[in-house]
Amino acid sequence: MKKEIPVTVLSGYLGAGKTSVLNHLLHNKQGHKIAVVVNDMSEINIDSAMVKQGGLVRSDEKLVELQNGCICCTLREDLIVELEQLSQLDLDYVLIESTGISEPIPVAQTFTYEADELDIDLRKHYKLDTMVTVVNAEQFWSDYYSGENLLERKQEAVPDDEREVSDLLIDQIEFANVILVNKIDLIPNEDLEKLKAALATFNPSARIIPIEHGKVDPDDVLNTSLFDFEDVSSSAGWIKELNEEHVPETEEYGISSFVYRSSKPFHPERFFKWLEQWPEEVVRSKGFFWLASRNDTIGLLSQAGKSLNVQGAGNWISTFSEAEQEELLAEDLQAKESWHPEFGDRKTELVFIGIKLNPATLINTLDKCLLTDEEIKEDWTLIPDPFPSFV
C-alpha cells in the first residue's frame, strides 16, 4: 500500500517568520524529499523568489506557487489540483505556507473531505500531520491590540474583509498543534515567559517552542502525527474551560481564565452597556449568551483584543418540537443533563481569559445585567433591544 504523505501547514501573521522557518527546514531536510506549496497574494511572489534564490528548488524538491488568490477563500481548488498532481511524486513531506492572512481551518478542511466538484479525494494520498503557527514575539501584543481590521491594513483576503487582525491571530493560535514563538532575540526573557503563558492559556494543547530566525528542529514540525481534526477543533482554551477542563492558572504572570454561567436571560440594554465598557484586563472571551428579547436565538460572543463580535448561532433546542428535542438531546448529553424545567437549554456561558482578572467583579457586574425576578414575570418582547440584528 502506498504511504500517505504527511502534510505540515505553516500559518502566521505577516512578517512573523514563516519564510524563515521554511528556508531553515529546507536547509536541514536530512535527505528527505519535501515539496513546498506557497501561496502569496502579492503581485510579486516574494516568498517563492526567496526560496528559489536560496537554490532550494532542486531536482528532489518541487515548489508550487498558487497565485489565484488566497487559499482560504477561492475554494482551494488550485491547492487541491496541485496536491493531487504532487502525490504522483515520491515525496516524504509536503509543506504548505499559507499567506499571512489565511485562516488555518479551511486549509485543514482541504484534507478532511472529498472535493466532489473535482472528483479528487486527497485523503488517499495525504494525511494532515501538523498545523504550525508562527508567532512574532516582538510584535504579537501590538498587532493583537492594534484594533485595526485587515482592510485598514490593506491586507484583505477578500474585498471588504472586515476581520480584525486580532481575530485572525487568535484563530491561528487556537487551531495549532505547534506554536513557534519566533524573534525571541528581540524581547526580554520576562516578556517571552509572559507571552508563552498567554499562548498556553489560549491553546492549552499546543506545543509552544521559542525560536530565533526560524531555526526549528525539523522533528518538531514534520511527521509529528499531532493533527486530529476533532482534537484541534476543541483545543482552544475557551472550549476547554466551557467543558470544565479547567486550564491551570499561570499565577506568576497573572494570566487566568474562568467561566461566567447563568440560567437567567440578560436584559438587552444592560448587557449592551456592559459590553461597551469592556473590562480591559480581558484579552480573550468567547461563549454563548441568552438575551431576553431574542428568546429563540443563541447569542454567540467572541472577543479578541479590541475586536468584539456578537452573532446568532442557531436556535436553542427548546424551540424545536418535542420529537426533534429528543433527537437533539440524545446527541447532546451536556444539554440534557443541565436541562432547566422551564427554560430548557437556554443559558449563558461565557469564558473570560485575561491578565489579573477579578472574577468576583465580573460576576457581580454581569449579574446586574440579568433580568430581575420582577422583570422575569413581564413581557420580554417589550424590552428595548439595542443589539444589531442577528439570526
Ligand X SMILES: Nc1nc2c(ncn2[C@@H]2O[C@H](COP(=O)(O)OP(=O)(O)OP(=O)(O)O)[C@@H](O)[C@H]2O)c(=O)[nH]1
Please give the residue ranges that form the binding site for ligand X (CB under 6 A). Answer: 12, 14-20, 47, 100, 182-183, 185-186, 212-214
Q: How far apart, in whole angstroms, are the C-alpha atoms of residue 47 and residue 280?
A: 37
Q: Which strand ranges, in their side-by-side order, compose the sheet holding 297-304?
A: 255-262, 348-355, 282-289, 297-304, 307-315
Q: Which is nearer to ligand X, 5 or 216 (CB)?
A: 216
Q: How far apart, in whole angstroms, are the C-alpha atoms of residue 18 and residue 136?
A: 10
Question: What is the closest distance, in whole angstroms, from the C-beta atom of residue 72 to ligand X in the complex?
Answer: 14
The interaxial angle of helices 359-367 and 268-276, nearest 10 deg, is 150
Q: Which is nearer to ligand X, 21 or 108 (CB)?
A: 21
Q: Which is nearer to ligand X, 184 or 291 (CB)?
A: 184
Q: Which is nearer to ligand X, 25 or 206 (CB)?
A: 25
Question: What is the closest distance, in whole angstroms, from the C-beta atom of residue 170 to ligand X in the complex?
Answer: 17
Question: What is the closest distance, in whole angstroms, from the C-beta atom of residue 237 to ligand X in the complex?
Answer: 24
Q: Which is nearer to ligand X, 133 or 285 (CB)?
A: 133
Question: What is the closest distance, in whole angstroms, from the C-beta atom of residue 275 to ligand X in the complex?
Answer: 33
36, 64 contact by CB (below 8 A): yes
All cell numbers assigned to 310:
456578537
Question: What is the closest distance, in whole angstroms, from the C-beta atom of residue 306 to ligand X in the complex?
Answer: 22
* 154 Rama class: left (phi>0) / alpha (psi -120 to 50) / beta: left
Q: Which is nearer to ligand X, 12 or 287 (CB)?
A: 12
All cell numbers assigned to 81:
489540483
Question: What is the closest distance, in whole angstroms, from the C-beta atom of residue 16 to ligand X in the complex?
Answer: 4
168, 161 contact by CB (below 8 A): no
Q: Which is nearer to ligand X, 16 or 56 (CB)?
A: 16
Q: Which is nearer to ligand X, 89 or 186 (CB)?
A: 186
Q: How far apart, in whole angstroms, are the C-alpha atoms of residue 250 and residue 258?
A: 13
Question: What is the closest distance, in whole angstroms, from the C-beta atom of residue 97 to ligand X in the complex?
Answer: 7
Question: What is the closest distance, in whole angstroms, from the C-beta atom of residue 41 to ligand X in the complex?
Answer: 10
Question: What is the closest distance, in whole angstroms, from the C-beta atom of residue 50 to ligand X in the complex?
Answer: 7
Q: Which residue's entry shows cell 506545543? A: 207
CA-CA-CA-CA dihedral for 220, 221, 222, 226, to nearest 10: 90
Q: Which is nearer to ligand X, 158 or 363 (CB)?
A: 158
